[in-house]
Structure 1
């Protein structure tokens, strides 16, 4: 897909990967609307995007609610005059042992990371069909491919979003709407601010701009998925498929340190 003059809606676009994607798409000539729940952060993000007269707009909306999703599509399509690209980026995480997780935290992760993008996509499909050259990008996580301890619910929700995208891609094949799944690894974003897991535990963080640039390359090449993490991630995915016990043992050796490092990782 050529992004020039494409009309783009990005949820969770006020910081991190969403903001980086917005900036990268604007650089390609797209027109972009971003949403977020934090009004102050959103205003700052839109202000930074509009520097130099770039066609970016934003408004506050919570896509985890029916009202927020309706507002999101109504405002975005009115501002843009339609919709060509939907980027389901809004997400939330709470790490820790499953038995210590509050039911509300579990339900919030499932609602924000899985249910909300499914329902927003469903509502956006008529607009994307009208485009004739539509694209849906689902931002999942490397944890959707290799489940990590202390991220059980997050892994379940993101893996669900991954399979949703795969099934929907096949459902829409030949109908003018492509579906691409993005699998970021550890990324230097506000969402990771409360995690103390570093490179010694396999969480080497890359800039959000690198993730966004890789996504743009994938969009222009019409690929099905973009997986971050390079050769090391590819080997881990292969090992998880062919000999998962080795990955179990690897996590076993680091489990106490990992649990301590992610015990405060909270972004809901």
Structure 2
């Protein structure tokens, strides 16, 4: 896809990966609407990005029906249609499952899975009318290789990945492509409360590096973008061929990992 002039909606676009994707897309000539829950942070992001091209912002919570309606209505009004929807907004709460509250689990389900499904569903008429449209679902590397203490998060992100795979096949031949992105540990505000480092497998890369890979995937009509390099590729292969070996590796890391991620929360 050539992004010049494309009309793009990015959820969670005020910081982290969403902001980096917005910045990269503006450089390619796209016209953007970004959304987020925090009006002050969103406004700051808009002002920083404005010199790079056309951008508008709407403060809304896509985890709610009202927020999704407001977001899509605003985007269609400001852009005059929609060519690209990037489902990037997300939340995480790590820790042992029995120590994770029902409210925290439901928040992850609503923001990380329900919101992208319903927002995409509502946006499909506009995307189909484009004739050359794209849905990008930002999931997580944990959807491919699930780590302990991320059971709920892994579940919803894997659900989003399979939603995208199914939708890609459903939309085949109808002018709507679907790309699934699997970031690894990324240096974003969402990771601020995670104390796990490279010794535990959390090697962080910049949000701009992820955004660059996403744009490369978009421009080459890729099906997926997987970050983490050769290390992640080997883990994916081992998880498929000898999952018990990976279980053993995680068993050895469990005490240190439990302590490092028990306060990891961004909801």
TM-score between both structures, scaled by the size of structure 1: 0.99
Aligned counterparts of 2:72 and 2:110: Cα–Cα separation in 1 = 18
Residue 2 of structure 1 aligns to a residue whose secondary structure is coil
Aligned counterparts of 2:261 and 2:44: Cα–Cα separation in 1 = 28
Aligned counterparts of 2:30 and 2:14: Cα–Cα separation in 1 = 17
> Where does residue 222 of structure 1 map in the other structure?
221
> Where does residue 30 of structure 2 map in the other structure?
30
Mapping of 1:11-90 within 5 angstroms? Answer: 11-52=11-52, 54-90=53-89
Query: What count of residue pairs does the alignment treat as equivalent?
Result: 267
Is 1:171 paired with 2:191? Answer: no
Residue 59 of structure 1 aligns to a residue whose secondary structure is strand
> Where does residue 91 of structure 2 map in the other structure?
92
> Where does residue 210 of structure 2 map in the other structure?
211
> Where does residue 199 of structure 1 map in the other structure?
198
Aligned counterparts of 1:154 and 1:245: Cα–Cα separation in 2 = 21
> Where does residue 161 of structure 1 map in the other structure?
160
Structure 1 position 51, deviation (Å): 2.6
Residue 69 of structure 2 aligns to a residue whose secondary structure is helix
> Where does residue 183 of structure 1 map in the other structure?
182
Aligned counterparts of 2:25 and 2:18: Cα–Cα separation in 1 = 11
Mapping of 1:80-159 within 5 angstroms? Answer: 80-159=79-158
Unmatched runs of 5 consecutive residues or more in structure 1: none
> Where does residue 240 of structure 1 map in the other structure?
239
Unmatched runs of 5 consecutive residues or more in structure 2: none
Aligned counterparts of 1:188 and 1:203: Cα–Cα separation in 2 = 10
Structure 1 position 57, deviation (Å): 1.1
Aligned counterparts of 1:69 and 1:99: Cα–Cα separation in 2 = 31
Structure 1 position 74, deviation (Å): 0.3
TM-score between both structures, scaled by the size of structure 2: 0.99
Aligned counterparts of 1:199 and 1:33: Cα–Cα separation in 2 = 35
Aligned counterparts of 1:34 and 1:194: Cα–Cα separation in 2 = 25
Aligned counterparts of 2:162 and 2:241: Cα–Cα separation in 1 = 20
Is 1:8 paired with 2:8? Answer: yes
Aligned counterparts of 1:200 and 1:50: Cα–Cα separation in 2 = 39
